[in-house]
Structure 1
Amino acid sequence: MSPLTTLPALVSALLPLADDPPAPTAGTTQLVLAAVVSIALIVVLIVWVKMHPFFALMLGSGVMAVAANMGFANAFTAFSSGVGSTLGGVGVLIALGAVIGKFLTESGAADEIVDTILSKTPAKRLPWAMAGAAFIIGIPLFFEVGVVLLIPIVMLVAKRAKLPVILMGIPALAGLSALHGLVPPHPGPLIAIDALDANLGLTLALGLVVAIPTVIISGPLLAIPMARWVPIPAPDRIVGQRVDEGGRRPSFWVALSVVLMPVILMLAHTLVVALRVDTTGWGSVLSFIGTPLLALLITSLYAMVVLGLALGRSTSGVASLTGAAFGPVAGILLIVGAGGGFKQTLVDSGVGGVIGDGIIQAGVPVLLAGWLVAVAIRVATGSATVATITASGIMAPLAAGLTDVHLALLVLAIGAGSVFLSHVNDAGFWLVKEYFGMTVGETFKTWSLMECAVSVVGLAGVLALGAALV
């Protein structure tokens, strides 16, 4: 069955296999109004009051519970339950991913990957090389870390090659953004996988398939006309330019092995399960070490050895670097946990089922519905994480009973929607603007348009896979 079919036929075929959704705590009109008011409150608190998303999501969850007749005494019961389950399922993976990213950046491994790729690339192929480098290091690195790491390189390459900054920068940003929205272990896809109970390895494999054409179209190809619209040169003073400290770097292949190890382990797990050989000797081993937690744990320990001890760091130095990786992700973990709490409130109130019924009656395809919901929340809040959390909570009742492939595609559709149209309410908008030295208008014509392209092309890829994998 294709996920492009309309939802009435899809849900009628699949829901008998699913658990019964929670009974609504109020009438349809009241639940819809409660959801609208709570989401609007979150938007207002984040965008206009400038409140931290953790508190905005918590308050929005409380308002949702009270407005949906869940009672004052139970206003935060579902929220607390959702926080615990989300952090239990996703929090450890994010923390392990942060450790891997920290060792990649601090050891110079990420720099080694980028420099090696660029050194072997002729000038006319540099935009493609930047996209490829961003794609590779974007697998384990959070988006903001990748931007801070790559932008100085983009500026330096553009200056040496005497090419417009946008011609180099857009491919790099497209690579980072596509991976951020579509490929675990980034927080957004992990949140959606946890909320929809999707298969992580399968989502990773399909996410990479979708991400490749998405990066090509919205990166090197789209950068050509953008460089004509905004032909800014590299500045004389490059903000954040790296200084060679003369320390030892790992080889290119060692650095690449750290990046690819969790991907290979998780894909191996998915393959042995799909081939039903996970009960054999080697199959059971691959199935065990390829689970997300084990794959990232093994990679973290491997990174500590090859990017820490092997480069001359002491055991205490490795421990110190590991501890330093946790601080920057504390805020992400709080937002993710609060988002899980809000999602659980939506589910327990029954509003997800009510909205799902409305989507069914409207005949909107499930993948398109997930994308549209994520787009609406993304444009309103400016947060890809909040968009993913909210859309996953709303779509959860419709996901019950879907096949593993369809669940993975729904995760990717939501992820694609979560990066749509970055504008003035998104911190990433201002980060890119300042690094590139652009005006607000120029940032809209480059970065914002690129984000729209990543989102739309990503959705097209998801729909194409949905049509093919019937």
Structure 2
Amino acid sequence: MSTFTIDPIFILLTGVVIVVGGIIGLKLHPFLALLLGAFVVALLTPASAIEQFFLAKALAPAAAKQMAHKTIGERIASEFGSTCTKIGILIAMAAIIGKCMLESGAAERIVRSLLNAIGINKAPVAFLASSFFLGVPVFFDTVIFLMMPLAKAMALRTGRYLLLVLSILAGAVMANSLVPPAPGPLFLVGEMQIPIGMMMIAGTILGVITATSGYFFALWVSRKTSVPVRDSAEAKLEDLKNIAAKDDSQLPALWFSLLPVLIPLIFICADTFLNSFYKVGSAETSTVSALIGFVHFFGDKNIALITGAAVALVLLVRQKKISREGVSSFVQSALSTGGGIILITAAGGAFGGMLQQTGISARIEELTRNYQMALIPLAFIIAAVVRTAQGSATVALITASGILAGMASGNLEYHHLYLGLAIGCGSKLVPWMNDAGFWIVCKMSNLTEREALKTFSPMNFVMGCTGLIVIMIAARFIPLI
């Protein structure tokens, strides 16, 4: 007796209609719409597809079969919990850091110092450059957590909140897509056998070009779309305005204001450097070994953010002279905001996870296997379609590089570096509701889902396509072979 199998593309489209229609059309809360979409996608996915998905992830046949026969609720909860594992502590600590920096006046001090150094008209460019620099060693979501409080404080001066937000996102997105030792590019370097130094140099050049195109798009769209700094639980507008009216003598010192951001950044960068470029051997002294262990411990992104949050609380207590009870109440308020973001982001992860289990990546690979097209745009399109279909840039990178790794070793007219760069650019198109990062952007910036789809998502499209054009021109005129 033959079994009827639903095409993963049909399941994908059904999930899209439910989530987008539920949030924008029916005005459902994103948490509910995402869980409903995850449930329907899981219900439509046959056990055979789930088993094949886990076999492709190198699970033993018995384990893959066991995963395929889990209940829908167990599968959704598993992906929900997996996303929480990745971002739960980060979001909670980032909520504390952000609120502390706003309430203590630290964000205001940083903004005033920045304006004194570069002038108010260059603030968006400074945010773009800063987020690009941070996006290389630090995860994309961590950059958003660290810089959004500064954008809110700066917007009270410039009145260009959307431009500041998009400038931050443009820099962070492209650095994290193209420049090792960011995780995605680091994976590409190994899979495609690209020299890491070459990827760092080329990725930085291409990243600057694409982020600049994103900035020009941000300038254009911010003239057409006005987004105010909205009142939110972690950043009341009245409080921000009161802080902005304070004299410089009432604000914390600049070095102290920077500590909650610099401490996580320094430790994460140091740990990334050690993991990427330093090989542990038997020749180290006990002091060096202890120092390496110290860096590895505090360089863990969760520990680094916890440390930053502790310093931020010390800054708040010292600046506002609040009691222990006041600190407890303050943390409770910050975590209430963070908890809502965690729930929505984890639900987005569950929806994306259910889409992955349909076998959508393998289906796309099957459709493109015999597609007669030049390799560079093919690499870009495969990565873009997989990313848009199931929400994970990592899965898009793995899928596209898996398809093209064999071709990269063939007789190309250009260096296969360009294929890796094309995959990196394509993996950022197009963020929407099935992407956990999309929800982090929405909730940390207070953009509505509709506003993010009209600004952030098209900006990624512009940057990705700009990257593709530059790559094809460079491969033609600077083949590097």
Q: Indicate the TM-score class for this superposition, using the shorter chain for normalisation.
A: 0.5 to 0.7
CA displacement 1:390-436 (0-9 Å, x = unmatched): x6667665577999x9999967754463289xxxxx989x9789xxx
- Aligned partner of residue 118 in structure 2, secondary structure: coil
Which of 94, 97, 102 is residue 94 of structure 2 equivalent to?
A: 97
1:100/1:268 CA distance change after superposition, 3 Å: same
1-structure distance, mates of 2:259, 2:299: 15
**Structure-2 change in CA distance of 1:360 and 1:79 (3 Å):** farther
Paired residues for 1:361-400 under 5 Å? 361-362=370-371, 365-372=378-385, 374=387, 388=391
Q: Say yes or no: does 1:326 pair with 2:335.
A: yes
Structure 2 gaps of 5+ residues are: 48-67, 132-141, 177-182, 191-195, 229-236, 406-416, 434-440
Deviation at 1:82, TM superposition (A): 0.4
Query: Which residue identity lines up with residue 44 of structure 1 in the other structure?
Result: G
Structure 1 residues 352-373: Cα deviation after superposition (integer angstroms, max 9, x where no partner): 3223333444466445433355
SS where residue 293 of structure 1 aligns? helix
Q: For residues 298-313 of structure 1, what are the structure 2 equivalents within 5 Å?
A: 298-309=307-318, 312-313=321-322
CA–CA separation in structure 2 for the residues paired with 1:398 and 1:26? 30
Q: 1:419 to 1:397 in 2, by over 3 A?
A: closer
CA distance in structure 2 between the aligned counterparts of 1:139 and 1:96, rounded to whole angstroms: 13
Q: TM (normalized to structure 2)? A: 0.62
> Which residue number in structure 1 is paired with residue 241 of structure 2?
242
TM-aligned CA distance change 1:134 to 1:314, over 3 Å: farther
Q: Among 346, 349, 369, which residue is 2:355 paired with?
A: 346
Q: How does 1:244-323 map to 2 (within 5 A)?
A: 244=245, 248-278=250-280, 280=284, 281=289, 282-309=291-318, 312-323=321-332
- Counterpart in 1 of 2:40? 63
The reply to whether residue 149 of structure 1 matches residue 149 of structure 2 is: no
The reply to whether residue 45 of structure 1 matches residue 22 of structure 2 is yes
The amino acid of 2:43's aligned partner reads V
Cα gap change, 1:264 to 1:132, in 2 (>3 Å): same
2:13 matched residue in structure 1: 36
Tell me the residue number matched to 1:116: 113
Pairwise CA RMSD: 5.0
Aligned residues of 2:267 and 2:298 also touching (Cα < 8 A) = yes
Contact in 2 for aligned 1:139/1:259 (Cα 8 Å)? no
Q: Deviations over 1:30-77 (max 9, x none)?
A: 333222222222222122111122222222222222222349982333
Paired position in structure 1 for 2:122? 128
Q: Distance in 2 between matches of 1:305 and 1:43?
A: 42
**Whole-angstrom distance in 2 between the partners of 1:85 and 1:224:** 37
Shift of 1:263: 2.1
Q: Given the alignment, which residue of 337, 356, 370 partners 2:346? A: 337
Taking structure 1 as reference, are residues 111 and 301 closer, same or farther at Cα in structure 2, changes over 3 Å only?
same
**Aligned in 2, Cα 1:89/1:371: closer, same or farther, shift over 3 Å?**
same
What CA distance in whole angstroms lies between the structure 2 residues aligned with 1:308 and 1:153? 26
Q: 2:12, 2:115 → 1: CA distance?
A: 49
Kept in 1: contact 2:152–2:161 (CA 8 A): no
Measured against aligned partners, the alpha-carbon deviations of 1:163-198 in whole angstroms (never above 9, x if no partner) come to: xxxxx66652432332564678xxxxxxx97xx999
The equivalent residue for 1:14 is none
- Give the counterpart letter for 1:111 in structure 2: E
**How many angstroms apart in 2 are the aligned matches of 1:231 and 1:41?**
27
Corresponding residue number in structure 2 for 1:16 = none
| Whole-angstrom distance in 1 between the partners of 2:480 and 2:157 | 39
Moved more, 249-258 or 78-87: 249-258
1:248 shift after superposition:
3.5
- Structure 2 distance, partners of 1:197, 1:77, is 32
Change in Cα spacing, 1:355 to 1:140, as seen in structure 2 (3 Å) is: closer
Residues 413-470 of structure 1 show CA distances to partners (whole Å, capped at 9, x for unaligned) of: 54463289xxxxx989x9789xxxxxx9xx99xx957864454236645986998999
Give the percent of matched residue pairs that are identical in Structure 1 and Structure 2.
20
Could you tell me which amino acid in structure 2 is paired with residue 178 of structure 1?
A: A
Q: Secondary structure at the match of 2:7?
A: helix
Instruction: Read off the aligned partner of 1:340 and give its amino acid letter.
Output: G
Residue type matched to 2:16 in 1? I
Change (3 A) 1:300 1:461: farther
In the alignment, residue 457 of structure 1 is paired with which amino acid? M
Asked whether the 8 Å contact 2:23–2:29 carries over to 1, the reply is: yes
Structure 1 residue 27: Cα displacement: 6.7
Uncovered stretches (5+) of structure 1, i.e. residues with no partner:
1-24, 156-167, 185-191, 378-386, 421-425, 434-439
Is residue 127–residue 168 contact of structure 2 (8 Å, CA) maintained in 1? Answer: no
User: What letter matches 1:248 in structure 2?
Assistant: Q
1:176 corresponds in structure 2 to: 168
Residue-by-residue CA offset, 1:107-164 (whole Å, 9 max, x unaligned): 1111111111212335xxx322343157658935478755543332113xxxxxxxxx
- For residue 54 of structure 1, what is the aligned residue in structure 2? 31
8 Å contact from structure 2 (residues 386, 395) kept in 1: no
Structure 1 residue 28, shift from structure 2 partner: 6.6
Residue 139 of structure 1 aligns to a residue whose secondary structure is: helix
Amino acid paired to 1:103: C
- 8 A contact 1:114–1:133 mirrored in 2: no
AA in 1 matched with 2:44 = A
Distance 1:225 1:179 in 2: 17
Q: How far has the Cα of 1:336 moved from its partner? A: 1.7
Q: Tell me if the contact between 1:103 and 1:304 (Cα under 8 Å) persists in the aligned partners.
A: yes
Distance 1:226 1:293, change over 3 A: closer
Shift of 1:299: 1.3
Q: In the TM superposition, what is the alpha-carbon distance from 1:26 to its structure 2 partner? A: 7.4
